[in-house]
Amino acid sequence: MGNRADLSDRVWGILTWDQGMGRGSGFVDVTIKKIKFTTINKTYTEKVRDWHGRHCFATQYPNPDGKRIFLTYYFVKKGYTISKVFHRNGDFLYYYCDVMEMRQVGRLRYVMVDLLLDLIVYPDGRYHLIDVDEFAAAIEKGQLKKKQQVYTLRTLDKMIRLVMNRSFIPKYLQEATMFPLTDSSRRKP
């Protein structure tokens, strides 16, 4: 893959969206540009499906396998996303949570760094930490700065503590349902 730059330069996304930031606004587009060291540079345009304050919004998209639908809430100030994952038929499966480094870089514009550690939270409250091997490999290769490593572990610790107290998943997300699927509900490159 050639020279490897610092992970913070290789894994990021820029989020921008139009005006109309009202809560529940399903008519606003969000463009997510993601570069991840394991994937190619891709840009997605998605509809914002829900708003909860200035720094929390949701999008919905199908997983590449087409069998699962992700309703993803971006908690910009908290440093993570929570995706409510549905089977294509609308049945709820689990929550998929990514540790992210997110910061605002302009008006309604954010930079996101995927910090590799993910948490799956099941409906009964059990959880499963995944991608620890990717995180360890990134550390070994010098792709994560020490500050990012510490941030990741502290954020993950907060997430797990909230899961164990059953206060991690907000009520509005617990009650959220999948939006109807249409041909336009696919991520658009």
When pLDDT is averaged across residues 147-165 and rounded to a whole number, the result is 97
Query: Is residue 183 a part of any domain in this protein?
Result: no
Q: Does residue 76 sit within a domain? A: yes
Domain of residue 89, CATH code: 2.40.380.10
> If you compute the radius of gyration of the chain from its CA atoms, what whole number of angstroms results?
16
Q: State the average pLDDT over residues 106-111.
A: 65
For residue 185, tell me if it sits in a domain: no
Note whether residue 2 is domain-resident.
Answer: no
Selected residue with higher pLDDT from 146 and 22:
146
What are 31-79's pLDDT values in tens digits? 555 556 555 455 666 677 888 887 888 889 898 888 999 999 999 899 9
With respect to residue 188, please indicate whether it lies within any of the assigned structural domains.
no
24 φ/ψ sector (left φ>0, alpha ψ -120 to 50, else beta): left
CA separation for the pair 8, 35 (Å, rounded): 10
Q: Could you tell me what percent of the chain has a pLDDT over 90?
A: 49
Q: Label residue 175 exposed, middle or buried (CB < 10 Å: 0-12, 13-18, 19+).
A: exposed
For residues 120 and 156, what is the distance between their CA atoms, to the nearest angstrom? 12
Range of the domain at 20: 7-178
Residue 102 belongs to some domain of the structure: yes
- Spatial neighbors of 120 by CB under 8 A, at least 6 apart, are 94, 95, 96, 97, 127, 128, 130
Taking alpha carbons only, the member of 38, 30, 34, 4 closest to residue 100 is 34
CA atoms within 13 A on the CB side of 160: 13
Work out how many domains the chain is built from and give that number.
1
Question: For residue 189, is it within any domain?
Answer: no
